[in-house]
């Protein structure tokens, strides 16, 4: 695993904390959902501990955000935006939306697809 600079550690921790608060989850709830201990998650949020890519993926899954977003924040990926191939991926990857907002948008989007009749799944509407 590449060495993560101190600023990236703080950045990913702060970002996780903001996403957790945006999702209205306590640190205990997120820790349980991500399968990590409360103290460990707290240390990640404060920039004290360096999470592995696997832990970042578990946290991302629990927050319902893109793991790639956390990888970039942690300095694991270079930050070149991934190609978005569908509406679902774009909504899911948006770091500024809460989990509830994402679910609402996707529900409306899917209802439009149903209302418009049979649609063959393509990369743009999965």
Residue 89: what pLDDT? Answer: 80
Which residue among 73, 95, 117 closes a domain?
A: 73
Q: Which two tokens stand for residue 60?
A: 């991302």
Residue 31: what pLDDT? Answer: 96
Whether residue 13 sits in one domain with residue 61: yes
Distance CA 1, CA 115 (A): 47
Whether residue 87 sits in one domain with residue 69: no
pLDDT at 67 over 50: yes
Whether residue 102 sits in one domain with residue 62: no
Answer whether residue 104 is part of any domain: yes
pTM as predicted: 0.58
Answer whether residue 60 is part of any domain: yes
**pLDDT digit string, tens, across residues 72-126:** 877 787 766 656 557 888 888 788 888 899 889 989 988 888 888 765 555 445 5
| Angstrom distances, CA of residue 37 to CA of 27, 43, 48, 59 | 9, 10, 14, 12
Distance of CA 116 to the CA centre of its chain: 30
- What mean pLDDT is predicted for residues 28-55? 93
pLDDT at 36 over 90: yes
Q: Which two tokens stand for residue 72?
A: 């970039």
Residue 85's H or E segment, with its range, is: none
Answer whether residue 1 is part of any domain: no
Whether residue 49 sits in one domain with residue 69: yes
Q: How many separate domains does the chain show?
A: 2
Distance CA 108, CA 6 (A): 41
Answer whether residue 78 is part of any domain: no
């Amino acid at each position: 695993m590449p060495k993560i600079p101190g600023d990236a550690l703080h950045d990913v921790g702060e970002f996780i904390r903001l996403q957790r608060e945006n999702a209205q989850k306590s640190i205990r709830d997120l820790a349980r959902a991500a399968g990590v201990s409360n103290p460990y998650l707290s240390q990640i949020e404060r920039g004290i501990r360096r999470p592995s890519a696997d832990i970042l993926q578990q946290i991302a899954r629990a927050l319902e955000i893109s793991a790639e977003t956390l990888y970039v924040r942690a300095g694991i990926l270079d930050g070149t935006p991934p190609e978005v191939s569908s509406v679902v991926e774009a909504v899911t990857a948006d770091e500024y939306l809460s989990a509830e907002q994402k679910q609402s948008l996707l529900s409306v989007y899917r209802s439009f697809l149903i209302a418009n009749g049979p649609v063959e799944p393509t990369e743009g509407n999965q």
